[in-house]
Amino acid sequence: MAKIGFIGTGIMGKPMAENLQKAGHQLFLSTHHDPAPADLLAAGAIALASPKEVAQEAEFIIVMVPDTPHVEDVLFRSAGIAEGVGPNKIVIDMSSISPSATKTFADKIKATGADYLDAPVSGGEVGAKAATLSIMVGGSEQAFERALPLFQAMGKNITRVGGNGDGQTAKVANQIIVALNIQAVAEALLFAARNGADPAKVREALMGGFAGSKILEVHGERMIKGTFDPGFRISLHQKDLNLALSGARELGLNLPNTANAQQVFSTCAAIGGSNWDHSALIKGLEHMANFSIREE
């Protein structure tokens, strides 16, 4: 059994923490920003007042919060994680944040004697609940091997990509691919429906061919049914594409299709959809076309 601090028990973090509990690990939770979930406490988690206290008690400290500034705050604020870590401890950031900021955070944490892994995930709420997340890890081989049993309790496809920052780079690449696939499926279903075909039947036909994909299977169904309760919010995917586009500018790259997908997400946000699931990108296209593939 490992002693694990877990900070960030939201849509993704809470089921990840539950799976660590099911694997027999002891959890420590911070109540600095939000109350600790009652069911985690009922299952044996211990609530502490600050990230510093969590870091003092735990061997591994997992962070799962929305964006780069939130990670920085949890790590380095007064009574933050950095004040409670030292040798033999590992900080594991499983949020999706800036690769360049990650390298800076890692250096500062390692200066305390602790180690640092960036380990963002893919698979959404469904994968978090089922413990089937893909986990992309950046950091030392030694720290990765120590943390591997924790990752195995939360995910299935676990890859050490390279050094600190490389896990976050892989996650940004993942989010580019996911966004462009969502847009491709949305455009295809919109085209089919506007041309008079049944989009559900078109999706069924495409599932058996080279166009078949997880996005077509899961998000295509959501688009047809109009079920856009968030597994992964549009606002968070916008954040990730901002990381891609700002990183591309730093590298002198042009990512035109990524930029286009971001514009469609921005259309969704403009019509009140920031908190829709990212499969609702189709609603941005429908808004521009003044046509819906569903009867609404």
Q: pLDDT, tens digit, for every residue of 181-217?
A: 999 999 999 999 999 999 999 999 999 999 999 999 9
Tokens of 147: 């943390």
Which amino acids are annotated catalytic?
A: 171
Tell me whether residue 163 is exposed, middle or buried, using C-beta atoms within 10 angstroms of its C-beta: 0 to 12, 13 to 18, 19 or more: middle
CATH architecture of 170-289: Orthogonal Bundle (1.10)
- Rounded to whole angstroms, the Cα distance separating 244 from 251 reads 10
Q: pLDDT, tens digit, for every residue of 15-29?
A: 999 999 999 999 999
Q: pLDDT, tens digit, for every residue of 216-257?
A: 999 999 999 999 998 889 999 999 999 999 999 999 999 999
- Rounded to whole angstroms, the Cα distance separating 150 from 66 reads 21
The amino acid at residue 45 is A
Tokens of 275: 């908190």
Specify the CATH number of the domain 3-163. 3.40.50.720
Tokens of 266: 């921005």
Give the pLDDT score at 296.
66
User: Residue 193 in contact with residue 199, Cβ under 8 Å?
Assistant: yes
